[in-house]
Structure 1
C-alpha cells in the first residue's frame, strides 16, 4: 500500500509542505495495525518546476518528473496540497496535473488541501480543487482541509473545528477508502496466486 502526497509549496520551509506532512501522518496513524506495510512519498513540485515546463513544451518528461508521475498514478491513496494564488490553485500545481493521463486517477482516493494567508480563500477547495479531481474521476474524500496563517496552533472553538481536528477527520476518511480499496484488490490477487499453484501442480503431474 502506497500513500503519495503532492506539495506545490514554493518556499522553504513551506506551510504547504507542513500541511502535506501532517495529513500523511494522520493517514499513517489511522492505518497503523491495519496494514503490514505503508510506503509514504512526498513529491515537492518546486523541485520539478523546470521539468514540468519543459514537458509542456516538448511532450517528454525528464526522469525525475516521470518518476513523480508514476508515483502519483501508482499510489493507493493521494494527498494534494496547493498554496492559493489569485483565488485558485497555483499554476505549477495545475501544470503538473495537466501531465497526468485523464484516466490514471479514476477511482483513486484523494484528500484535497490548500494553504493561504487568510481564511477568505478557503472556498478554493470547493470551486477549484474539488472540480479538478472530479474531472479526473478521482474519489475525493468529503473533508477538505484549508489552513490559513491563523489556523496553525489553533484548536478551534465551540462552533468550529480547529486545524488538527480537520486533519484527523480527512486522514481518517482517506485511510478508510485506502483500506477498502486494498481489500477489494486482495481477493483477485489470491485468485491469481491459487491459479498459479494449480498450474504448477499440473506441470509436476
Structure 2
C-alpha cells in the first residue's frame, strides 16, 4: 500500500488551502485505485514547534512525527496560500527544517491558493525552484485555485485536480520501492567481536 503525505499551510479554519489539499488527496487516492494511506499534516498546528526546530535543529513531539510522515511517504502533496507573490512563511519553514535528501526523488504535487489568478505564476517562479533545490520529482501539472475557481470555475479546477492527481499516481507507481538494508551484508569481523569492538 502506498503512503501519501499531504502538507497544507493554510492559516484559517476552514481554509481554501486545506480544501484544495483535500481534493488533491482524494483524486490521487482514487487514481491509485483507492489503495493509499493518506496522512494529512496541517502546518498551522505545528507553528511553534517549527520555530523551535529551526532554532535547535531538532524537531520534537508531534512535529517530529509530521516530519517522519513526510520522510517515509511514497508521495507528497504540498499546498500553500500565496502571500506577497510567494509561498507562505509557514510553508517555507517546514521545508527548511527537513533533513537534507529527505525529498530526493520523491514524487511531489504542488498546489496553491490565492485571491486572484494573478498569483498563479508563484508556483513556477517560487515553489518549483524550492522543490528543484530539494531534488524532489515534481509532476508537470500544478494546481492553483483562485477565489473564483470555487464558484463558476469549479469545473476547470476539477479537471486540473484530476490531471495532476493522475500524474502523481503514475509517478508513485513507477518509483521503485526503496531497498532495505540487509544487516548481514556487512558483518562485524569475529576478531572485533572478541576484542569488544
Distance in 2, matches of 1:8 and 1:70, equals 17
Is residue 173 of structure 1 aligned with residue 167 of structure 2? yes
Structure 2: any 5+ residue segments left out of the alignment?
A: 183-197
Q: TM-score, normalised by structure 2?
A: 0.87
5 Å-filtered alignment, 1:181-200, equals 181=175, 184-185=176-177
2:89 maps to which residue?
Answer: 91
Moved more, 107-116 or 52-61: 52-61
Q: TM-score, normalised by structure 1?
A: 0.84
Count of aligned positions? 180
**CA displacement 1:72-104 (0-9 Å, x = unmatched):** 111100000000111100001001100012311
More helix by share: 1
Note the aligned Cα RMSD (angstroms). 1.7
The one of 120, 139, 142 aligned to 1:141? 139
1:28 maps to which residue?
Answer: 29
Distance in 2, matches of 1:23 and 1:54, equals 30
**CA displacement 1:146-171 (0-9 Å, x = unmatched):** 00000113347xxxx81100000000
1:14 maps to which residue?
Answer: 15
5 Å-filtered alignment, 1:33-44, equals 37-44=35-42
Structure 1: any 5+ residue segments left out of the alignment?
A: 193-205
Please state how far the C-alpha of 1:58 moved relative to its aligned partner: 2.2
Find runs of 4+ consecutive structure 1 residues off by over 4 angstroms.
none
